[in-house]
Structure 1
Amino acid sequence: MSQAITDDSRPQQRFTSLYTDLSHTVRDLGLLRRRQGYYWTQIGFVVAALAGIVTGFVLLGNSWFQLLMAGALALVLVQVAFLSHDSAHRQIFDSAAWNEWTARILAGGLAGMSIHWWRGKHNKHHNAPNQLGKDPDIAIGVIAFTPDHVARRTGLVKWLGDRQGWLFFPLLTLEGLSLHVAGLQHGFRRGASKVERVEAGVIVSRLGLYVAALFLVLPPGKAAAFLGLQLAVFGVFLGASFAPNHKGMPLVPATMKLDFLRRQVLMSRNIRGGVVVDFLMGGLNYQVEHHLFPSMPRPHLRHVQPIVREYCAKHNVKYTEVGLGESYKIVIDYLNNVGLRARDPFQCPLTAAYRTR
């Protein structure tokens, strides 16, 4: 099947100009211009919030009310992660160097994560969303995303895999810890560059000072509870912002070639919900538009959405948008049934069009 699709390149050639035309329209409307005032306000907000949390932490002292501070810190760090994501995509400044250093400071200095590790992984995802063998977000791991991954499992691991949809959100409580560990492993791996090792040193310093402060102000039990709750809330909210965007959408065979517009639109899902969802998901709820225009400033995504949706309808490209609750239901259902309902994971509108030929 994949070979037959790959060999017929005429549809791909026919669709090549679609993205170019859309891109010109968007650029002419000024929607790719930077919004530095917006981003400086956002950065000021998170810095002020972090300062307020540190002040509250010191004033509260030895109290179980510190767990409220832990939850608040986690939510603010999620916003820091969103800003580092935007900066890594060069959405904030015209200068590549300013974006680079802003991403480093936000991710490494404030959130304790490696922007170099994350960006390398994330760029591969953007280049080939949901494509087998190319998108690291669907590579084999704790969660199985394809029937082939499920088939390799036996015993207790298979039993857990059959119920992985229900386990997905509990597992997200470990995502914060996983991000810290993965970043440090990347920075201290053999062959790491000097810049990556310096970044790893900054992350170690940030995490070390944070843990030391907890145990200086709080007794061991409360300090551990603060750390555990902060990491869990951070992991759940951050993971819950990324998970609905591609999980349960069509998978692409490793050898299949797609034009850029269809590659990004058909494999992405938007989440509707207004300004509250915009804030909680850091603009990632406009996933289709973000994948089409990765460097577009976050506040412009909602303005370009009706243009993209209308353009897709005009050219018969399926545009997917659901509510937040429905998106989580889709993710859970897909993961629980990946061995059954994803038996042929290559079902998508473009594949069907090729088959009809």
Structure 2
Amino acid sequence: MRKKVRFTNVNNSTFYVTVRKRVDAYFTDNNISIHANRAMWFKTLFFLTGLIALYLMILLGGFNAGVTLLLCAILGAFGAFVGFNVCHDAIHKSYSANSTINKFFSFVFNLIGASPYVWNICHNIVHHTYTNIAGHDEDIDVAPGLIRFSETETVNKVQSYQHYYAFVLYSFAMLSWVFRKDYKKFFQKKIGEHVSSHPRIEYFKLFFYKGIYYFLFIALPLLMMNITWWQFVLGFLVMQFSQGLVLGLVFQLAHVVEGTSFPLPDEKGNIEEAWAIHQLQTTANFGVDCKVTGFLCGGLNRQIEHHLFPKVCHIHYPAIGEIVRQTAADFNLNYIESPTFGAALVSHYKTLKRLGKETYNETPYINRPEQYMNRPAMAFAKK
């Protein structure tokens, strides 16, 4: 029977106490709300308007096949961006202090193909607590037998090529989410450590809102557009592959890169580390100085700040990021960061290549390459 995971090193909890005090002081001293500001509302308007406009252009525009396919690809990307920039904060309840606003923008998640209720369990409850712990964090259980993210899995011959085909598989992420993932997770007895027990209304919502999505993106285009069935299938797949690739890359670059760890609990289920330091060891930032990356990724390129302060709206991550980085240095803790999206992509590629060829090793915290071990604080931070 799998043991419940506990983070036992309370002696290292001083870091989290300190960084929380400093971040709280930043908001208090500057009289700033931790929730959305005008810039956040602008981003919300931009991405939601873009999503609706692209959808209507495809549905009603009457463009030729080439332009329509391009619009489908952009629509897919915008679906991911709406998820990153709007729904993600709302489901974390960090968008607003008003629960109605959070619920409204959480509902939008249904319209891009995913259940906010299931996501809350898988992401907010499970992933944020048991980050990168195999058997507990199901976010690293991407394609069992095909992609290996943890040394707890035995390597097979196919996985030695995973650094080539993994990116193709990421493109299927949204297609799986729309037709399989939400149903599978909803009806599992347990998701990680979370025992599933759903209110009756959630059974109705799952199928009802999925039905709305299928109507908007399958039935309505077939009814209104002058296209053949195979043209529809091609456009639908292009949209799903685009959205899936964007989602897959952004999520994996935050946790599966050089320097991040995949710790194993001992036989009693203990992780001999404080929870906040565990987050530093399993999470990475990328491209934090690029305004375009920050604008599109909705703070998910600043996963360290997000995992430590999920109740703070992502629009504030650049400011509190400097506080978190400095506090990590004060406590001689590594702050893992790639300078650009491209650098993070290369790091992910190298990690996939290494994991596809390594043999199983029972040592905890084994996903830290030797060259990254025992490095001083700020070893991965931007100089």
Query: What TM-score, normalized by structure 1, do the two folds share?
Result: 0.86
Q: Structure 1 counterpart of 2:325, which letter?
A: R
Residues 352 and 62 of structure 1, relative CA distance in 2, 3 Å threshold: closer
Please give the residue correspondences for 1:160-171 in structure 2 after superposition, counting only pairs within 5 Å.
Answer: 160-171=158-169
> How far is the alpha carbon of 1:230 from its aligned partner?
0.2
* Contact 1:93-1:99 at 8 Å conserved across structures: yes
Shift in CA distance, 320/189, structure 1 to aligned 2, threshold 3 Å:
closer
Deviates more, 1:319-328 or 1:283-292: 319-328
Structure 1 residues 148-176: Cα deviation after superposition (integer angstroms, max 9, x where no partner): 3124xxxxxx2221111211110011011
How far does the alpha carbon of each residue in 1:209-259 deviate from its partner, in whole angstroms, 9 at most, with x for none? 321122230221221111010000000011111111111411111232321
Q: How is 1:123-142 mapped onto 2 (pairs within 5 angstroms)?
A: 123-139=125-141, 141=144, 142=146
Q: Contact 2:154–2:359 (CA<8 Å) still a contact in 1?
A: no
| Structure 2 gap segments, 5+ residues each | 1-5, 190-196, 376-383
Specify which of 271, 292, 317 is matched with residue 286 of structure 2: 271
Q: Distance in 2 between matches of 1:97 and 1:45?
A: 21
What is the CA–CA distance in structure 1 between the aligned matches of 2:341 and 2:360, rounded to whole Å?
Answer: 22
- Structure 2 match to 1:100: 103
Match of 2:365 in 1: 346
User: Is 2:212 the counterpart of 1:209?
Assistant: no
Offset of residue 34 of structure 1 = 1.1
TM-score (norm. length: structure 2)? 0.80
Q: For residues 13-92 of structure 1, what are the structure 2 equivalents within 5 Å?
A: 13-30=10-27, 33-57=34-58, 58-60=60-62, 63-82=65-84, 83-92=86-95
Counting aligned pairs with the same residue, the percent is 21
Listed one character per residue, the Cα deviations across residues 93-120 of structure 1 (whole Å, up to 9, x for unaligned) are 11345323421x2111x21211111121
Identify if the C-alpha distance between structure 1 residues 292 and 315 changes in structure 2 by more than 3 Å, giving closer, same or farther: same
Work out which of the residue numbers 245, 248, 251 in structure 1 matches 2:262: 251
What residue identity is the alignment partner of 1:68? Answer: L
Provide the rounded CA distance (Å) in 2 between the counterparts of 1:62 and 1:331: 37
What are the ranges of 5 or more consecutive residues in structure 1 without an aligned counterpart? Answer: 1-5, 152-157
Change (3 A) 1:124 1:54: closer
Counterpart selection for 2:154 from 143, 150, 155? 150
Alpha-carbon deviation of 1:67?
A: 0.6
Aligned length, in residue pairs: 337
- Equivalent of 1:327 in 341, 344, 366: 344
Residues 194-221 of structure 1: CA deviation (Å, up to 9, x unaligned): 2322322112222223211222302212
- Asked if the contact 1:186–1:192 (Cα under 8 Å) also holds between the matched residues in 2, the reply is no
- Identify the residue that residue 298 of structure 2 maps to in structure 1: 282
Judging by fraction of residues, say which structure has more helix. 1
Structural RMSD (CA)? 2.7
Please give the secondary structure, in 1, of the residue aligned with 2:203: helix
Question: Could you say if the C-alpha distance between residues 43 and 352 of structure 1 is closer, same or farther in structure 2, counting changes exceeding 3 Å?
Answer: closer
Kept in 1, the 8 Å contact 2:279–2:308? The answer is yes
